Amino acid sequence: MRVIGVESSCDETAVALICSERGLLSHRIHSQIELHQEWGGVVPELASRDHIRRVLPMLAEVLGEAGLQQADIDGVAYTAGPGLIGALLVGACIGRSLAFAWGVPAVGIHHLEGHLLAPLLEAEGPAFPFLALLVSGGHTMLVQVHGLGEYQILGESLDDAAGEAFDKTAKMMGLGYPGGPALARLAASGRAGRFRLPRPMLDRPGFDFSFSGLKTAAVLALREAGDDPAARAGLAADFEAAIVDTLITKTLRALDHCGLDTLVVAGGVGANRRLREMLKAAAAARGARVYYPRPEFCTDNAAMIALAGLKRLERGERAGQAIHARARWPLDELRPPPH
Ligand code: KG4
Ligand code: ZN
């Protein structure tokens, strides 16, 4: 089966083509970062308009690179939520309409299911069941993944997501948008240890997170650092360390709680080097193995949507003719496909 995936839930437009036998055949990602940069964050209406301009030309490129044509496609998967509703509707309208025009089935995919399954795009991917740490701009969650469509949320952020905390602190430090990668780069050049930042919620049982207090502590520390470059770099390092420590401690607790030895890290913050290295070492020390998508598939992409779509279509799931998208869509409402 060959499936086209379309992702347009936020500020990346992406199209991918996956094959059940040969894996990912081709894919494209266009980031709208430059478009939104001057506004310091994503402007929903601009995002929707840009998706409209780009999806079909990208589809032509993806088919061309794979040497395939419309008639070779057996299904279409599109991100149906959660995300910006206007942006989602662009991908949903185009995805559903293409499937209708081509006479093939369509399926609407939950964006976070895409992130959870992204490590399966790699040659040596994990097998079910596994624990997933999902850390993106919009979500921070620990999820026990029993199988396709069987997701049990163990804990999540009660306020800001980890990526959001990175972005807000980076913005405050004048590092631009999106700030996560810029703050991580600054942290790499700084020496940690000067600023005592909190590790929120570590003293409480359970697997929930909270990052808004950390952000407030960073505001105060920034006043202390002033314009001194070394102090600012040190603050970035301390901030990154506080987030990474918190994520790692709760994740190890959850691994013990579930009795699992397979961990998946997904979502944009999963591209953070410090998190990747420290989590790998900490997990290995307890005999667990960590799986990451390659960095380009940590952030938003269509390969993960095509993969989730392929798996659901193969097992008989079919979307109706209606065009359907949801800005809010709790992950644990998902169900396994029919077969
Ligand atoms: O998954 P994603 O691409 O979009 C959402 O669905 O949210 O995640 C984007 C988030 C942003 O907050 C970005 O700042 C963060 O991931 N991010 C990072 C790094 N790369 C991306 N945060 C920390 N370190 C990084 N290297
Ligand atoms: Zn995402």
What's the CA gap between 102 and 107, in Å, rounded? 14
Atom 24 of ligand 1, nearest CA residue: 272
Any atom of ligand 1 within 6 Å of the Cβ of 138: yes
Assigned CATH class of 128-292: alpha beta
Angle at 25 between CA 23 and CA 31, to 5 degrees: 115
Question: Does residue 73 surpass a pLDDT of 90?
Answer: yes
39: confidence class by pLDDT, cuts 50, 70, 90: confident
- Residue 22's Cβ-count burial label (10 Å; 0-12, 13-18, 19+) is exposed
The 10s digit of each residue's pLDDT in 176-225 is 878 999 999 999 999 999 999 999 888 888 999 999 999 999 999 999 99
Q: Which of 139, 166, 175, 296 is the pocket-test mutation for ligand 1 (most atoms within 8 Å of CB)? A: 166
58: confidence class by pLDDT, cuts 50, 70, 90: very high
The 10s digit of each residue's pLDDT in 22-32 is 999 999 999 99
- Residues 275-282 have a mean pLDDT of 95
Rounded to the nearest angstrom, the distance between the alpha carbon of 112 and the centre of ligand 1 is 14
- CA 267, distance to chain mean position in Å, is 3
pTM above 0.75, yes or no: yes
Q: Which candidate, 135, 180, 131, 128, places its Cα nearest to that of 156? A: 135
Rounded to the nearest angstrom, the distance between the alpha carbon of 42 and the centre of ligand 1 is 13
335: confidence class by pLDDT, cuts 50, 70, 90: very high
Q: What's the chain look like in SS3?
A: CEEEEEECCCCEEEEEEEECCCEEEEEEEEECHHHHHCCCCCCHHHHHHHHHHHHHHHHHHHHHHHCCCHHHCCEEEEEEECCCHHHHHHHHHHHHHHHHHHCCCEEEEEHHHHHHHHHHHCCCCCCCCEEEEEECCCCEEEEEEEECCEEEEEEEECCCCHHHHHHHHHHHCCCCCCHHHHHHHHHHCCCCCCCCCCCCCCCCCCCCECCHHHHHHHHHHHHHHCCCHHHHHHHHHHHHHHHHHHHHHHHHHHHHHHCCCEEEEECHHHHCHHHHHHHHHHHHCCCCEEECCCHHHCCCCCHHHHHHHHHHHHCCCCCCCCCCCCCCCCHHHCCCCCC
Ligand 2 (single-atom ion) residues, CB below 5 Å:
136, 300
Place of tokens 């596994």: 130
Residues of the chain within CATH 3.30.420.40 domain(s) are 2-117+297-333, 128-292
The 10s digit of each residue's pLDDT in 95-152 is 999 999 999 999 999 999 999 999 999 999 999 999 999 999 889 999 999 999 999 9
Question: Does residue 11 surpass a pLDDT of 90?
Answer: yes
Average pLDDT across the chain, whole number? 96
Any atom of ligand 1 within 6 Å of the Cβ of 184: yes
- Quick one: which atom of ligand 1 is closest to the CA of 9? 6
Between residues 203 and 174, which one has the greater pLDDT?
174
Atom 23 of ligand 1, nearest CA residue: 180
Rounded to the nearest angstrom, the distance between the alpha carbon of 316 and the centre of ligand 1 is 33
Assigned CATH class of 2-117+297-333: alpha beta
Question: Does residue 37 surpass a pLDDT of 90?
Answer: no
* Sign for the pseudo-dihedral over CA of 126, 127, 131, 133: positive
Of the bound ligands, which one is closest to the alpha carbon of residue 296? 1
* Bridge partners, residue 147, by sequence: 150
Neighbouring C-beta atoms of residue 285, cutoff 10 Å:
9
Amino acid 198: pLDDT: 92
Any atom of ligand 1 within 6 Å of the Cβ of 160: no
Question: Does residue 238 surpass a pLDDT of 90?
Answer: yes
Amino acid 177: pLDDT: 79
Of the bound ligands, which one is closest to the alpha carbon of residue 175? 1
- Quick one: which atom of ligand 1 is closest to the CA of 266? 1
Report the percent of the chain where pLDDT is more than 90: 94
- Quick one: which atom of ligand 1 is closest to the CA of 137? 7
Q: Which candidate, 72, 169, 135, 88, places its Cα nearest to that of 267? A: 135
